[in-house]
């Protein structure tokens, strides 16, 4: 669970409630930290306040969606008009809860989003093969499973989520690897994927970057 909330008291209360229900919670006090976590770590659900320092909640959700992050998002806000709710949903939020809210209702909405996540597709197509999001490995066309490291899996997942998009090395580096990673890290992991899954799994678009190939 990713919780992005600038009010320290409310963030602590919500985090404690979520942990009591069995969730593992990462906390972010502002939009920039929330964006970094949302792009670099997998979550079942994101809880995002609308009014955040550094990066507004609407902008945060919009940026995550533009980077193919499809994690279910519950937006919290003191702005509860119909127009505000429509703006939040249009930005990419899956649900919208106005402050002040009852903690039991908050918990119920989180559980509902978790159920929707569980019901969603658990595979991404890679040519004639698949990327198994539940087991976090690749499935070749003949049914053979190929184990992937966490970074290999995430790199292939980002490519497979938007198969027709050419991703720059800079974009892939910011989304998959730590900020301190070497500039050549993307090329290194593309090599690893090709060694395990075949040279065609990632296509090089010269001068631009990489896109998904076929497994």
pTM of the full predicted structure?
A: 0.57
Asked if residue 104 has pLDDT above 70, the reply is yes
- The conformational region for residue 136 under phi > 0 = left, psi -120 to 50 = alpha, else beta, is left
**Residues of the chain with pLDDT > 90: what percent?**
48
pLDDT in tens, 32-50: 999 999 988 888 899 999 9
Bridge partners (DSSP) of residue 4 are 28, 48
Answer yes or no: CATH 3.30.70.2190 is held by domain 123-212: no
- By C-alpha distance, which of 74, 69, 70 is closest to 48? 74
- Residue ranges of the domains in the chain? 2-119, 123-212
Asked if residue 10 has pLDDT above 90, the reply is yes
- By C-alpha distance, which of 81, 12, 88 is closest to 50? 88
The CATH number of 2-119, from 3.40.50.2300, 1.10.3720.10, 2.60.40.10, 3.30.379.10, is 3.40.50.2300
Number of C-beta neighbours around residue 160 at 10 A: 22
> Residue 176's pLDDT is what?
87
């Amino acid at each position: 669970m990713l919780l992005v909330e600038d009010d320290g008291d409310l963030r602590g209360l919500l985090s404690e409630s979520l942990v009591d229900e069995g969730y593992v919670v990462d906390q972010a006090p502002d939009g920039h930290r929330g964006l970094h976590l949302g792009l670099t770590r997998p979550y079942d659900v994101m809880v995002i306040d609308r009014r955040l320092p550094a990066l507004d909640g609407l902008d945060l959700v919009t940026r995550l969606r533009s980077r193919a992050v499809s994690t279910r998002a519950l937006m919290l806000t003191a702005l509860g008009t119909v127009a505000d709710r429509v703006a939040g949903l249009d930005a990419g939020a899956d649900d919208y809860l106005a402050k002040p809210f009852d903690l039991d209702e908050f918990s119920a909405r989180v559980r509902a989003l978790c159920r929707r996540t569980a019901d969603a597709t658990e595979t991404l197509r890679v040519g004639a093969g698949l990327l198994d999001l539940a087991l976090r490995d690749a499935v070749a066309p003949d049914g053979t499973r190929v184990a992937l490291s966490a970074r290999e899996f995430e790199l292939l997942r980002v490519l497979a989520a938007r198969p027709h998009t050419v991703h720059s090395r800079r974009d892939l580096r910011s989304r998959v690897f730590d900020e301190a990673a070497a500039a050549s890290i993307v090329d290194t992991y593309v090599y690893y994927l090709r060694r395990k899954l075949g040279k065609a799994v990632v296509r090089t678009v010269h001068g631009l970057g990489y896109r998904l190939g076929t497994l």
